[in-house]
Chains A and B, each alone.
Chain A
Amino acid sequence: MSDSGPRDDKLLRLNAALDDELDAAHRLELERELARDPQLRAALRRFSAVSEAVRRHAPREQAPAALRATVAALGRPKQKARRAYLPIAAALAAGVVIGAAAQALLAPSRAADPVAAALAADFARAELSDRPYDVASADRHVVKPWLATRAPLGVEAVDLGDKGYPLAGGRVAVVGATSVPTLVYQRREHWIAVTELPLALAGGPAGAREGTFNGFRVVRWADRERGYVAVSDIDADELAAFVAAFRGAEATNGGEAR
């Protein structure tokens, strides 16, 4: 690289200021220089005009749905990943409703269901951090009060240990501006997160609907009191079996303790 004179340094700092990468002291110094140097002011206006033009006219495009499905499928067990290389098969594997297949292939699933998308993203973050829960306990009498003090909605924390889904803990997820309680169950080496939502967020009572967001399977349903969203990286069939077990247990002892 050619030697950079003081003028070049100023231009670099100008860009750093534009990108919010300048610390307070340097920013102050730059502001003083800008105040007495009209050329520098013109340079700042040029850089920011260019930056604005790029952001406006070259926005980040979304990946095509078929690519999204292929990339997500790679992380699943091998058989399925191979089938999913075909875009249509991928769309089906991703739980896209056939009747709406054409539309769904064009419209990214995240836009269709922001609540499910937010909870899938939350699941991804939790999994990435290697800390899938904020309170670790297999005892629902520990998890339930912990969640009760942190999220406005109380949870039942049903015990599914005898059905092969031991409770691992709980955490608080955030959807929009609402803190929502989330139970984390374990299935072999996988996690299943179940978030309970107030009806306003759940959008009214509904049967189970399945989808895939960012590669995670999501099942959501709602009863008359609240909505539920289950997120996991296990198979669709396995997640459906879990949901059935969870709903069965809720129906049996859900009313007793709220």
Chain B
Amino acid sequence: MISDAARRRYQAIVPPHVDDAYALARWLSGDPADAEEIVQEAALRALNALETANVERPRAWFLRIVRNAALTWMAKNRSKSLVFAGGVDDLAAIEPVDPAADELSPEAILIAAEDGERVRRAIAALPPPLREVLTLREINGLAYREIAEATETPIGTVMSRLARARATLAKILEEKP
């Protein structure tokens, strides 16, 4: 049984961030219909948690629940290959930050960036831990501190993942289509 106080807190915290929740779930799952289910599940979890939770940063708090709901959802409904790859350690192997920036031209990115479909495909192709940080930063507009809270990751890791995500995207966009 949910108390009135929890419902009041819920009303103040969750519905105002439903667009952010949907956008995050959309990019994590890659599918609009799945995103709706994930957000509904996250909203239910949030309502239950608000009996006791003390929320300081509502948006980061709710997006963290959305993210965890997405992980659970994908573990249940997607084949293993699509689920989040292990930990941070795998990432170094996937895509080191590319220091050889000068070999490639920013102009190539600018040209490729004209093609919206190509940009969206490139985002979808990012490894999930990079994609979620990129989404939270560029699409949800969260500060580093909020991203750290939403992903339960140290801020240094957030920074390096974001740099990797952008470097990887740059590389994808610089390649011939």
User: A residues within 8 Å of B by Cβ?
Assistant: 1-2, 4, 7-8, 11-12, 14-16, 19, 21, 38-40, 42-43, 45-47, 49-64, 66-68, 70-72, 74-78, 121, 124-125, 127-128, 189-190, 214-216, 233
Across the interface, which residues of A come within 8 angstroms of B14, CB to CB? 71, 74-75, 215
The 8 closest A-B pairs by CB, nearest first: A53-B113, A215-B15, A45-B106, A63-B22, A57-B116, A43-B101, A128-B12, A57-B119
Given A1-B91, A61-B26, A74-B47, does the pair A46, B99 have CB atoms closer than 8 Å? no
Contact status B169-A50, CB under 8 Å: yes
Contact status A214-B15, CB under 8 Å: yes
B134: Cβ under 8 A from any A Cβ: yes
CA distance A78 to B9 in the complex (A): 15
CA distance A204 to B140 in the complex (A): 37
The smallest beta-carbon distance between B35 and chain A, in angstroms, is 8
Across the interface, which residues of A come within 8 angstroms of B22, CB to CB? 61-64, 67
Contact status A75-B10, CB under 8 Å: yes
Contact of A74 among B10, B116, B163, B173 (CB under 8 A): B10
Contact of B19 among A45, A50, A61, A233 (CB under 8 A): A61
CA distance A14 to B14 in the complex (A): 34
A interface, by DSSP: helix, strand, loop or mixed?
helix
The smallest beta-carbon distance between A244 and chain B, in angstroms, is 24
Across the interface, which residues of A come within 8 angstroms of B43, CB to CB? 70-71, 74
Contact status A57-B40, CB under 8 Å: no
Report the interface size for chain B: residues with CB under 8 A from the other chain: 67
Contact status B15-A72, CB under 8 Å: yes
B132: Cβ under 8 A from any A Cβ: no
Contact status A63-B101, CB under 8 Å: no
Specify which of A53, A62, A64, A78 lies most central, judged by the most chain B CB atoms within 10 Å of its CB: A53
CA distance A71 to B113 in the complex (A): 35
Specify which of A8, A42, A49, A61 lies most central, judged by the most chain B CB atoms within 10 Å of its CB: A49
Chain B 124-157 interface mask (CB, 8 Å, partner A; 1/0): 0000000000100111110110000000000001
The smallest beta-carbon distance between A239 and chain B, in angstroms, is 14
Within 8 A of A (CB), among B1-47: 2, 4-5, 7-16, 18-23, 26-27, 32, 36, 39-40, 43-44, 47
Chain B 90-126 interface mask (CB, 8 Å, partner A; 1/0): 0110001101011011100110110010011001000
Contact status A60-B19, CB under 8 Å: yes
B160: Cβ under 8 A from any A Cβ: yes
CA distance A8 to B43 in the complex (A): 39
Given A54-B119, A58-B120, does the pair A127, B11 have CB atoms closer than 8 Å? yes
Contact status B140-A19, CB under 8 Å: no
CA distance A56 to B169 in the complex (A): 14
Specify which of A45, A68, A74 lies most central, judged by the most chain B CB atoms within 10 Å of its CB: A74
Contact status A71-B102, CB under 8 Å: no
Contact of A39 among B96, B102, B144 (CB under 8 A): B102
B74: Cβ under 8 A from any A Cβ: no
Contact status B166-A15, CB under 8 Å: yes
Within 8 A of A (CB), among B36-92: 36, 39-40, 43-44, 47, 58, 88-89, 91-92
Contact status B139-A58, CB under 8 Å: yes
Contact status B123-A38, CB under 8 Å: no
